[in-house]
Amino acid sequence: MSTQDPRRRIPRTDRVLAEPEVVRAGTGLADAAVRRAVVAAQDRARAGEIAPEDVVGAVVAALTAQSPSSLTPVLNATGVVVHTNLGRAPLSDAARQAVLDASGYVDVELDLRSGQRSKRGVGARQALLEACPAAEDALVVTNGAAALVLATTALAAGREVVISRGEFVEIGAGFRLSDLMESTGARLREVGTTNRTHLADYRDALGPDTGCLLKVHPSNFRVAGFASSVPLRELRALADEHGVPLVVDVGSGLLTPDPAFPDEPSLSEALEAGADAVIASGDKLFGGPQAGLLLGRAETITRLARFPLARAVRADKLTLAALEATLRGGPTPVARSLHADPERLRERAEALARAVGAEAVPHDGRVGGGGAPGVPLLGWAVRLPEAAAAPLRLGTPAVLPRVHDGACLVDLRCVPEADDAALADAVRTALEGLR
């Protein structure tokens, strides 16, 4: 190799790593990640893509663009409030701060006054009981599916779970609650038909092999027309006659009745109707972190908490902290988005439309996450060319619009007003790229 070969000027790895610019840019990243960036820049210099003198700059640029996490923050401009693909409920400011505080050492299982071990998540449990006075006890697990698995395993493993055929629900990614429950060793005893189930159907199915009676709210679909189901209070009386527990899965985690969603059951209603245990998700209408909530009678919840599987599905400290703060803090982003003022949404949409040279159009949002199916949330969106969707998704900040009927619709319902200016810049950039 000639002494004039520019590749001889490529700086050594140790020298690049010692450069103050590289040290600053690599703060917060693993040593292996920094070294990979150095080797990649050196390889580019060897291939003639950059000059040897530009290696340090290339490394700094690569490290600056990196993040310890591959997850990208997204502005939700779909109008779907509980968007499963975007992580469902965004956390409130109080919950975010609680997660940050809990990321270090915290007294999750310690009584600081006595210095002795305490029960896990006492604060979250107490907050749940305060929010749902009808509950005698509460338990938090990893998610709604885990709550259902725990309940059916503890109460009916090797026995029968009596459930209406009209409540066989398939949740996201093809998972069916029936498959989930059968995986626990419980046997499903189907009663009634898809559209109509009567009290007599349940009564005929109950017997010595019944582990529990289960009622599931079909939250992601509706059966209309010639249809009927059995009210919880009637099932409570039947369960008492046969001495079996009544478990209710309300799904989306609405704490108390909401007039905007009259067909969506709440935890408090199910508890007041006599359920022994009520199951819900924490990251849907509840507006908190991913969690499975179990509330009900003290005897039943204690039985579930002491079952060995409860250890495998217990919630971590970050979830417990976020859950408690969700209940004790101010209104959640989900609540604000669900009850956003349509007139204010119109004003914001029209302002964005003027800023980018587009048109504001009426647009109905949706609850999402299997909650209140078919219920429109009156609002507005900015109509853009369909081709703008891809550059919006790939821009900074990343914006997820709704693509519908040959158009790209930017709905501001779930976009914090503080981000309106950043959204306008992102839309302008996306449209300029189309010209």
Residues 6+ apart with CB under 8 A from 97: 325
The pLDDT, as a whole number, for residue 220 is 66
Would you tell me how many other CB atoms lie within 10 Å of the CB of residue 374? 10
CA distances from 260 to 256, 278, 335 (A): 12, 22, 11
CA distance 183 to 291: 20
**Which of these, 332, 316, 324, lies nearest to 127 by C-alpha position?**
324
d(CA 112, CA 126) in angstroms, rounded, equals: 17
pTM of the complete model: 0.89
Collapsing DSSP to helix, strand or coil, 83 comes out as strand
CA distances from 401 to 78, 108, 248, 355 (A): 5, 40, 35, 17
Return the bridge partners of 187, or none.
160
List average pLDDT for each run of 10 residues in the chain, which is 435 residues long.
70 94 93 94 94 94 88 96 96 97 95 94 96 97 95 94 87 74 87 92 94 87 79 95 96 90 93 97 96 98 97 97 97 97 98 97 94 91 98 96 97 98 97 89
pLDDT at 129: 97
What distance in Å separates the CA atoms of residue 70 and residue 279, rounded to the nearest whole number?
32
- pLDDT, residue 23, reads 94
Question: DSSP strand E in 219-301: where?
Answer: 246-251, 277-281, 292-296
Cβ atoms of residues 281 and 143 within 8 Å: yes
End-to-end Cα, the chain, rounded Å? 48
Model pLDDT, residue 389: 98
Question: What are 252's two structure tokens?
Answer: 């989306």
Surface-to-core class of residue 367, CB atoms within 10 Å of its CB (0-12 exposed, 13-18 middle, 19+ buried):
buried
pLDDT at 351: 98
Scan for tokens 């008492």, then name that residue: 240
H/E element holding 35?
helix 31-46
Neighbours of 237 (CB within 10 A): 12
User: What is the Cα–Cα distance from 162 to 230, expressed in whole angstroms?
Assistant: 13
User: What pLDDT sits at residue 69?
Assistant: 85
Query: d(Cα 156, Cα 85) in Å, to the nearest integer?
Result: 33
Please report the pLDDT score of residue 1 as a whole number: 44
Whether the CB-CB separation of 392 and 427 falls below 8 Å is answered with yes
Q: Write down how long the chain is.
A: 435
pLDDT for res 7: 77
User: Do 75 and 400 contact (CB within 8 A), yes or no?
Assistant: yes
- In order, the DSSP letters of 344-411 are HHHHHHHHHHHHHT-EEEE--BB-BTTBSTT--B--EEEEEEGGGHHHHHHSSSEEEEEEETTEEEEE
The dihedral built from the CA positions of residue 239, 245, 250 and 256, taken in this order, carries a sign that is positive
Question: Do residues 140 and 315 touch, judged by C-beta distance below 8 A?
Answer: yes
